[in-house]
Structure 1
């Protein structure tokens, strides 16, 4: 029997400075891939005070108005007035070409099967994918609930139901476990930015969040109970929020992007990279593989680790860990996955059609940049589909 424990995960809203930078970076990726699916692009953003800094390196046949893209995202995130706003913020730009010999333009749809080995990992990477049976999306419950509440909070603000609040907020959810299964919601913490110190009062804010946000938990299998602790701005009122209060940077919320630290994840950012970058596409492939294992009922919990070496297409290793919940040996599950799934970079991009997703679904990668890259069944992310589970069962 496993010892009971408490686990917390957090999510942030679209106006959080780190997530603002992730959205800008992925909107740039969307723009390049829409104009040229073979584009190679690395885009990063940093924001502080009234200054937004963009670094973009690309090898592409298309041109992108980087400043225009950034200002559009800033406006959509709700920053239209004040010290930091879409129209008046200073945008500093560093833009140059990626070397063609290391990052050649490649549209994997044009590759013959024999050419897939020619697309190699351009950097060493170890990526992780995870799935479990705690939620319908096969995601850990704490991060799933944190995203649900953060999204509900942001939607209520955008809809004018919480006019006194800004777009910058953070939500943390604590879940109690016993026998490695979630038993109850222990705590919920909201850190929200207000427009003024006077309104709403702490009592009014608690009532608003209860009525407009916490109602989203009513449809969940695990709900609040009388002992669930609710914390709202426990350190005091936060005025304004956004970049004028704390700086933001692309790739600084990796746990929020993946599994809420319930499982291991790569230290590399997911946003701001074209899908031939193996630290991005490999993470999607690992999640897809782990999800097949749980869907096939080979295990209740599954982590897939894939390691890549520079200059090689095939991974150096594919390793499965089921935390003692597997019905067959972990090595056997790993063998089955490797037999059914191709983890080479070009094969992953081709299987999920990663380079053309923004063509079919405008703004696809930007949408991933907030509320998680994993578990996104709402976006029909291709790595979330359960399509080969029967082949490994």
Structure 2
């Protein structure tokens, strides 16, 4: 078994077309939940140069201007009008209104009635946690996401006007005996807002080191060294970026949404789905379980797999592995997990308060996840990131 290796993860900024589609889809989810917390909603988005396609299916009492939501999100990202004109772009919608079921209108958190809430999609979801970082996330994706967020912050607040909203980051971490030991590589690829005012490459490199790389690694436990390969725009900055250069679609960034491919994930989109979709909320529940196991000190890393079938309220199988790092047998950890976690759909909605989050946080919750991250320390009060059951698992 290879224990010394380099593992690399990547992330993208808020203006990357795929990430933009994720944000629009989740903004639509929030818009419905703001008015009607019992809404059932799925929203998918695709976009290209000055064209947006939105497909939504919903059962809700809410009245939502879906095209206007898309325009406002694109405007907020800050593309130049000639790259993407939010006010004048074409918006094509397909909206299918459905009827609520009695269980949606009269959702009950009474335990006996949770069994009446069955899943409507078959899926297998994964949750993962490890000791790389304080938030118990893999280090490569944590650093890649931090760099992506810092790129957006630098564009907005550090006066680096030439940066496009569409940039990418990549971090390679060297592992020794399966433990992060050093930073092997850092890559930043940036778009250019205005090629006529583009500074010299030396200035771009200095700006990105000072305003992006240094702030991210200032408090990091592992910092770049003299052998770290730092690559900035190896082919030059992209003069055309964003939707004018490449298309986007909801759900195409599941690696950076989850664990940077360091651990398994379902492959289904997380964004654009309301709390009734098990392929989204099941992934949150699995992460919640895995994180509490590692936080309890039962293992250095843990993966939880939940498989659901249509018509059943809970998983048809629950698999757990600590990959040989558990302090007790995996079978015993699994017994404790099933004793203290309820993976039925209705219980996940109830215990994590997934229907109330949008209204609880001033009408905006889910749309913040694509850019800030669905897992780890992203500055948001994510209920599935709590470790409130760690002590129970020790017993």
TM-score (norm 2): 0.96
Quote how far apart the aligned CAs of 1:196 are: 3.6
- 1:313 alignment counterpart: 313
What whole-Å deviation, never above 9, does each CA across 1:298-334 have from its counterpart, x for those lacking one?
0001000011111001211111111110011111111
Contact 2:149 2:371 in 1 (8 A): no
Q: Flag structure 2 segments of 5+ consecutive residues without an equivalent.
A: none
- 2:211 alignment counterpart: 212
Partner Cα distance (1:181, 1:106) in 2: 49
Q: Relative to structure 1, is the Cα distance of residues 36 and 376 closer, same or farther in structure 2, using a 3 angstrom cutoff?
A: farther
Partner Cα distance (1:168, 1:214) in 2: 17
Quote how far apart the aligned CAs of 1:200 are: 2.2
TM-score (norm 1): 0.96
Partner Cα distance (1:262, 1:172) in 2: 13
- 2:29 alignment counterpart: 29
Q: Bigger CA drift: 36-45 or 159-168?
A: 159-168
Partner Cα distance (1:273, 1:259) in 2: 19
After TM superposition, the structure 1 = structure 2 runs for residues 362-377 of structure 1, keeping only pairs within 5 Å, are: 362-376=363-377
- 1:127 alignment counterpart: 125
- 2:104 alignment counterpart: 105
What whole-Å deviation, never above 9, does each CA across 1:55-75 have from its counterpart, x for those lacking one?
111000111110111111001
Partner Cα distance (1:150, 1:323) in 2: 30
Aligned length: 391
Quote how far apart the aligned CAs of 1:377 are: 5.1
- 2:187 alignment counterpart: 189
Partner Cα distance (2:342, 2:109) in 1: 15
After TM superposition, the structure 1 = structure 2 runs for residues 2-81 of structure 1, keeping only pairs within 5 Å, are: 2-81=2-81
- 2:278 alignment counterpart: 278
Partner Cα distance (1:104, 1:60) in 2: 13
Partner Cα distance (1:277, 1:316) in 2: 16
2:198 counterpart of 1:230: no
- 1:388 alignment counterpart: 389
Contact 2:314 2:343 in 1 (8 A): yes
Contact 2:117 2:313 in 1 (8 A): yes
Quote how far apart the aligned CAs of 1:201 are: 2.2
Q: Flag structure 1 segments of 5+ consecutive residues without an equivalent.
A: none
What whole-Å deviation, never above 9, does each CA across 1:157-204 have from its counterpart, x for those lacking one?
011421111110000000000111000000000110012446122211
- 1:333 alignment counterpart: 333
Quote how far apart the aligned CAs of 1:79 are: 2.4
SS, match of residue 187 in structure 2: strand
Q: Relative to structure 1, is the Cα distance of residues 230 and 106 closer, same or farther in structure 2, using a 3 angstrom cutoff?
A: farther
